[in-house]
C-alpha cells in the first residue's frame, strides 16, 4: 500500500474514532438533523478547501479566499434582492466574481513576481474593501438586505433530505480527484509543487499552472459564497472572515502538505469533515468558544507535525529499500 493511501486511512480512522467518542458521550450527535447540519457546515469550508488544494499542491498559498467569499456574496446579494434577475445569472455573477479575483491574484504573482503570501494577503484586504463599497446602503448606512429571488433561494434547499450545497461538494470532490490524477494539468500541478525548476525543465508551464490554481480557488470560493447566501437568505460583511485559514487547515489535516507536491481532493474533503466534526462535538460539550479555537489550533499543529514525521519516515523507508535493491544487484 502506498504512503499516500496509508495517510488517508489514518485520517479516516481518526475521523471514525472521534465520531464514535462524540456519539457515545452526547445525546444528539448521531441524529439525522445533526448529521445533515454537520455535512452542510463541512461543505462550506470543504468547497473552499477543494480550490485551496490546487494552490497548495502546486506549491503556493492563497490568503485572499475569505475576501473573495465576502465580495462574491455581496455581489450576489445585490442581484438577488429582487426577482428581476434570473437565478442562473445571480449564480454566474458570484462564481465569475470569484474567478476574476483569482485571475487578479495570478496576475499580481506572475507579473509583479511577489510571493503568494504577501500578494494574496494584500488582495484579500482589497476584496473585503470592495465588498464594503458594493454593499447595499440606505441613507448612507450599511444595511443587511434579504434575498428575495425565489429561484436563487432554491439553492439553499435540500434534495432527498441533503442540502444541495453538500451534494455539489461531493460531486465536485470526485471531479477534482479525476482532474488531479487523470489529466496532464493535474500531473503538472504535482510536478510544479514537488520541484518547480525540474518541472519547468520538463516542459511544464509554471506560470500557467500557478495562474490556473488561483482561478480555480477563486471559482470554489465564489461558489461557496453563492450557496451560503442562498441558505442564509442574507449576507453579512463578516461572511468569509477567516475562511481561508479554515480551508488551509482542512487541507493540512487531510494530508495536503504545505510546500506542495503531496495531497489530493479526498484529503481536503476528509480534513473539512474532521475539523467541522470537532467543532460540532466540542459545542455539544458546552466548551467555551475561546477553548474551541485553542483546541482547533492545537489539532492543526499536531496534524502538521505528524505529516512532517510521516513524510520523513516514508522517505527513510524508500531510501532503505532503494539501497537494499542496489546492493542486491
What angle do helix axes 65-79 and 87-112 make, rounded to 10 degrees? 150
Pairwise CA distance, residues 101 & 99, whole Å: 5
Domain ranges of the chain: 3-315
Q: Would you state the pLDDT for residue 323?
A: 65
Q: What is the pLDDT along the chain (329 residues), one digit of tens a residue?
A: 566 667 777 778 878 888 888 888 777 777 888 888 889 989 999 999 999 999 999 999 999 999 999 999 999 998 988 888 899 999 999 999 999 999 999 999 888 888 888 999 999 999 999 998 888 777 666 767 788 888 898 998 888 889 999 999 999 999 999 999 999 999 999 999 988 888 888 888 989 999 999 999 999 999 999 999 999 888 887 888 889 988 998 998 888 888 888 888 998 999 899 888 888 777 777 778 788 778 878 877 877 777 777 767 776 776 666 666 655 55
Q: Would you state the pLDDT for residue 294?
A: 84
3-315 placed in CATH 3.30.1640? no
What angle do helix axes 65-79 and 206-232 make, rounded to 10 degrees? 50
Q: Would you state the pLDDT for residue 2?
A: 61
Q: Would you state the pLDDT for residue 325?
A: 60
- Torsion angle of the four alpha carbons 241, 247, 249, 254, in this order, in degrees rounded to the nearest 10: 160
Contact 307, 10 (CB under 8 A): no
Neighbours of 318 (CB within 10 A): 11
- Torsion angle of the four alpha carbons 29, 31, 37, 42, in this order, in degrees rounded to the nearest 10: 60
The set of cell numbers assigned to 211 is 495562474
Beta bridge partners of residue 142, listed in sequence order: 137
Amino acid at each position: 500500500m502506498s504512503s499516500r493511501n496509508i495517510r488517508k486511512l489514518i485520517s479516516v480512522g481518526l475521523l471514525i474514532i472521534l465520531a464514535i467518542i462524540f456519539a457515545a458521550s452526547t445525546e444528539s450527535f448521531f441524529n439525522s438533523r445533526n448529521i445533515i447540519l454537520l455535512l452542510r457546515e463541512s461543505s462550506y469550508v470543504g468547497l473552499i478547501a477543494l480550490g485551496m488544494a490546487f494552490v497548495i499542491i502546486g506549491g503556493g498559498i492563497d490568503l485572499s479566499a475569505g475576501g473573495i467569499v465576502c465580495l462574491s456574496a455581496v455581489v450576489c446579494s445585490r442581484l438577488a434582492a429582487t426577482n428581476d434577475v434570473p437565478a442562473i445569472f445571480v449564480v454566474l455573477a458570484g462564481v465569475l466574481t470569484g474567478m476574476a479575483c483569482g485571475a487578479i491574484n495570478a496576475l499580481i504573482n506572475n507579473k509583479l513576481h511577489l510571493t503568494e503570501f504577501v500578494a494574496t494577503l494584500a488582495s484579500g484586504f482589497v476584496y473585503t474593501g470592495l465588498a464594503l463599497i458594493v454593499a447595499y446602503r440606505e441613507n448612507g448606512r450599511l444595511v443587511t438586505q434579504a434575498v428575495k429571488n425565489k429561484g436563487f433561494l432554491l439553492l439553499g434547499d435540500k434534495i432527498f433530505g441533503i442540502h444541495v450545497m453538500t451534494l455539489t461538494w461531493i460531486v465536485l470532490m470526485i471531479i477534482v480527484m479525476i482532474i488531479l490524477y487523470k489529466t496532464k494539468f493535474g500531473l503538472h500541478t504535482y510536478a510544479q509543487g514537488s520541484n518547480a525548476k525540474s518541472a519547468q525543465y520538463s516542459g511544464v508551464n509554471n506560470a500557467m499552472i500557478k495562474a490556473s490554481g488561483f482561478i480555480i480557488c477563486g471559482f470554489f470560493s465564489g461558489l461557496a459564497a453563492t450557496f451560503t447566501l442562498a441558505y442564509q437568505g442574507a449576507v453579512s460583511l463578516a461572511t468569509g472572515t477567516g475562511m481561508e485559514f479554515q480551508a488551509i487547515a482542512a487541507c493540512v489535516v487531510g494530508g495536503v502538505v504545505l510546500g506542495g507536491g503531496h495531497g489530493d481532493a479526498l484529503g481536503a474533503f476528509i480534513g473539512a469533515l474532521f475539523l467541522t466534526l470537532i467543532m460540532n462535538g466540542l459545542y455539544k460539550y458546552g466548551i467555551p468558544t475561546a477553548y474551541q479555537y485553542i483546541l482547533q489550533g492545537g489539532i492543526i499543529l499536531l496534524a502538521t507535525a505528524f505529516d512532517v514525521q510521516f513524510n520523513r519516515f516514508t522517505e527513510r523507508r524508500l531510501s532503505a529499500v532503494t539501497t537494499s535493491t542496489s546492493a542486491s544487484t
